[in-house]
Each structure stands twice: as structure tokens, then as C-alpha cells.
């Protein structure tokens, strides 16, 4: 039985190949892998293949005529297809346009996703709220997870699993296969007509780095969501607590990396990930964090990558933070005020979006001759471009509840206040 005839089981084909074949001198050698053939070797190999050794580019009349005929045939097929599309009923035409362009069927800004200021919600759950609110208007969205669907919020409201018996499914159960998940997502994105969104814990982005890098390299419109984003992961301990992952992904060109401060910023980040034509990484918290009154109505500013969350005239200190540490920066600013030290707070959800802004804007937000303090519960690598004092974590975490972890590892308002006061002396 041949592989094509097998109807039930996958078939593994083992091919015994010879690298460089039929080169008379380089077949089965390492040189055939890593070095170009010499001109003489090329001629010898062409002769063995029945090609004219003196022609540098040769296409037989048979191949040329075949390809031209296929092109004419395909042109007719395309015209027939365009005619069928033109005859689609209005509702189906709208749906077809949505799939073709990856544009929502309605403006997502017209759909309210509201969170009450002062309440607490993990940003991973805010992503789930976006999926619930926008899902039916994103018919091209296919969601999935590396065995962590409930934990990462990768469940489309009313969605169902893609399977052999359900080809119209919009959920994918990837299993514990992060690298394969990223590869499949890139394939879907580059095929077109599909916007894949997939999630796992942030620490497991290490397993996906090659596929994230290829998404950036090929400009695949892929959305990677990574939750459990810091030492706030807590009791799972240092093996699961990402320290260097943010710095690592920020280093990849052509990749948007966004770590929202709260649920409000998360909504803006999600909409952006849908609308952009580049791959986007959304980094979200496991632990519940405050919905900040200061972030409400700041969508346009969030998309600048950084903005003044709390502004004062002539600040002595500018606190810059991302993610769950933004609320910590606000708490620190209040302690500084009690010490008669004026402090502004800048939320910086995305370095790469901030770098796209004008130098004027960047300087207005982070002027010279002011103590700028970055606060992020991860590696401080790279923060010296924006801050004079870096509050971060250049060691691995520990196993403890989130609030205890933050306090013991130097992320309490009092600990940060002391470091700032020492720097001001």
C-alpha cells in the first residue's frame, strides 16, 4: 500500500538521500552543504544531469510552454472566480470582504468593553473579555493554546474545536506543543484569510522563540499572547517566573511587544493587535491588578507606546513602569509627594511603539536633567536608555504568593522610595 492509499493512519517516509548528488567530487561531503561548487564542478554535474554545461540558466522548451499554458488556464479560472464573488448576496459579500482583508465586520471602537475603576482584574482575563466582546465581529479569528486555554483566555465565545469532523472550527487544541503552535499560527497567517491568536505562559515563549522570530522576519500577522508575566506568578516558583523574556522579545526587530498596565490598556492593545499588519506579542498578568482611573479614555496615548499617566509641573522624579508595576509606580508617587518630592508617572506599555514617535514627543515625556526611574519586575537590560535608576530583577524569582514575592524581592513602595531618595542625595 502506498502513502497516498493509506486512509486512516499517518505515514512516515524515510528517504535515504545523498547531499550534493550527482556531483562527481562532492556527493556526500560537508562541502556540498556549506560551500558553493566551483565552476568546473558545476559543469561536471550539469553534464551528468544532461544539461548544457556552458549555459548558466537553462529552461527547456517543454517546461516553458507548460508554464505558459498553466498561466493562461489559471487566468480563466481567476476570472470565473471573480464573477462568482461579484454575485454573492450582501451578507455573504460582507463576510467574504472581512476574511479577505482581516477587517472586523463592524468598527471595534463601537463595541464597549468597560471595566469599573478601582476593581481588580488580571489582564489575561481582560484579553478574554475582548475575545467575548469582539469575537463574533472577527469571523477570521482562530484561537488556540498550548494546553492552557482556560488559563490564558484563549476561548472564543461560542467557538468550537477545529477537527477532522468539524472543518469550520475556530478553536485549535494544540496540546503541550508551543513550538508547533507558533509554527502553525505563522502558516495560517501567511496563507491569508485567517488571523491566528495563541496563548501560553510567558516563560514558555522560550520554546517559541524561533517561530516568533520567523513571524517578525516574514511579517506574519500573528498574535502571540503570553500570560503569567512576572514574579506575580507566585507559587509556581522561579522555573515558571519570566525574568529575561521581556528583554529577549524586545530585542527582535519588526515585532510589537505590549505589556498593558491594566484592563483599559489591554483593550487598546488587543484592538491594535487585530488592526496592525505586523506580529504582536501581548504580555498579560496572572494576578488581579487595579483598573486605573488614569488609563480611562487614553487609547490614543497607549498607542504611542508611552504616555503621562500622572503629570506634574517640573517633576524632580519621573517614574516609568509597565504592566502590573504601573500601579506600584502610582503608589510610589504618592509616598514621594508626602516627602515633598514631585513625581510624574509614565506608563510605557511598548518600547517599540514609543521608538516610532517623534524625538520631540519622546523628549517631552522623558526630558533630560530629571531623575528617571524605571520599575519593572524583570531584567533591567536595556532600561538604561530611558532611565537613570533601574528598579528590576536581575536574578531568578522565588516561590511565594504574588504580594509576598513582590515585597521580598524589592518591589514594595517603601523599598523603591528608599532607593529613589538615596539617588536624589
User: 419: number of CA atoms within 13 Å, CB side?
Assistant: 18
Separation CA 32–CA 34 (nearest Å) = 6
- φ, ψ dihedrals at 28, nearest 5°: 65, 30
State how far the alpha carbon of 46 is from the alpha carbons of 28, 37, 77, in Å. 17, 12, 37
Q: How many CB atoms lie within 10 A of CB 14?
A: 4
Would you state the torsion angle of the CA atoms of residues 259, 272, 124, 129, taken in this order, to the nearest 10 degrees? Answer: 150
Which DSSP letter does residue 369 get? S
Burial of 35 per CB tally in 10 Å (0-12, 13-18, 19+): exposed
* Cis amide prior to 22 (ω within 30 degrees): yes
Q: How is the beta sheet containing 307-310 ordered, strand by strand? A: 307-310, 343-347, 317-321, 371-375, 389-391
Residues with Cβ within 8 Å of 193's Cβ and at least 6 positions away in sequence, in order, are 99, 100, 102, 140
- String of DSSP letters for 26-64: TTTSTHHHHSPPPHHHHHHHHHHTT--TT-SS---HHHH
Length of the chain: 425
Q: How many CB atoms lie within 10 A of CB 276?
A: 14
Beta strands in 148-242 (DSSP E): 171-173, 195-201, 223-227
Beta strands in 276-370 (DSSP E): 280-283, 289-290, 307-310, 317-321, 343-347
Catalytic machinery residues: 178
Separation CA 279–CA 212 (nearest Å) = 8
Which residue, among 227, 232, 228, has the nearest Cα to 407 in the 3D structure?
Answer: 232
Amino acid at each position: 500500500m502506498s502513502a497516498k492509499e493509506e486512509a486512516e493512519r499517518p505515514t512516515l517516509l524515510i528517504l535515504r538521500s545523498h547531499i550534493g548528488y550527482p556531483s562527481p567530487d562532492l556527493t556526500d561531503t560537508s562541502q556540498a552543504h556549506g560551500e558553493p561548487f566551483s565552476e568546473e564542478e558545476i559543469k561536471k554535474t550539469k553534464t551528468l544531469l544532461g544539461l548544457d554545461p556552458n549555459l548558466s540558466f537553462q529552461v527547456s522548451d517543454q517546461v516553458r510552454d507548460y508554464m505558459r499554458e498553466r498561466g493562461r488556464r489559471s487566468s480563466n479560472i481567476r476570472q470565473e472566480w471573480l464573477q462568482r464573488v461579484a454575485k454573492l448576496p450582501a451578507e455573504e459579500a460582507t463576510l467574504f470582504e472581512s476574511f479577505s482583508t482581516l477587517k472586523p465586520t463592524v468598527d471595534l471602537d463601537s463595541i464597549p468593553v468597560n471595566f469599573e475603576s478601582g476593581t481588580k482584574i488580571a489582564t489575561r482575563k481582560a484579553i478574554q473579555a475582548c475575545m467575548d466582546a469582539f469575537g463574533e465581529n472577527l469571523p477570521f479569528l482562530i484561537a488556540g493554546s498550548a494546553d492552557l486555554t482556560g488559563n490564558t483566555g484563549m476561548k472564543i465565545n461560542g467557538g468550537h474545536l477545529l477537527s477532522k469532523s468539524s472543518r469550520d472550527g475556530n478553536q485549535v487544541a494544540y496540546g503541550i506543543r508551543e513550538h508547533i503552535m507558533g509554527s502553525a499560527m505563522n502558516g495560517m497567517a501567511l496563507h491569508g484569510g485567517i488571523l491566528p491568536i495563541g496563548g501560553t505562559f510567558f516563560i514558555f515563549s522560550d520554546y517559541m522563540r524561533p517561530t516568533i522570530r520567523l513571524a517578525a522576519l516574514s511579517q506574519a500577522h500573528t498574535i502571540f499572547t503570553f500570560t503569567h508575566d512576572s514574579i506575580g506568578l507566585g507559587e509556581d516558583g522561579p522555573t515558571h517566573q519570566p525574568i529575561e523574556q521581556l528583554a529577549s522579545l524586545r530585542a527582535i526587530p519588526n515585532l510589537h511587544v505590549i505589556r498593558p498596565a491594566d484592563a483599559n490598556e489591554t483593550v487598546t492593545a488587543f484592538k491594535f493587535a487585530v488592526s496592525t499588519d505586523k506580529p504582536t506579542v501581548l504580555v498579560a498578568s496572572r494576578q488581579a491588578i487595579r483598573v486605573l482611573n488614569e488609563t480611562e479614555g487614553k487609547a490614543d496615548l497607549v498607542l504611542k507606546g508611552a504616555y503621562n499617566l500622572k503629570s506634574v509641573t517640573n517633576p524632580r522624579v519621573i517614574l516609568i513602569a509597565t504592566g502590573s508595576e504601573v500601579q506600584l509606580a502610582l503608589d510610589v508617587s504618592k509616598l514621594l509627594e508626602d516627602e515633598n518630592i514631585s513625581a510624574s508617572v509614565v506608563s510605557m506599555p511598548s518600547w517599540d511603539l514609543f521608538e516610532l514617535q517623534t524625538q520631540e514627543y519622546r523628549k517631552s515625556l522623558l526630558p533630560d536633567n530629571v531623575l528617571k526611574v524605571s520599575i519593572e519586575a524583570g531584567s533591567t537590560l536595556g532600561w538604561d536608555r530611558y532611565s537613570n535608576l533601574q528598579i528590576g530583577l536581575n536574578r531568578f524569582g522565588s516561590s511565594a504568593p504574588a504580594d509576598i514575592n513582590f515585597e521580598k524581592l524589592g518591589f514594595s513602595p517603601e523599598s523603591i522610595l528608599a532607593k529613589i531618595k538615596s539617588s536624589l542625595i
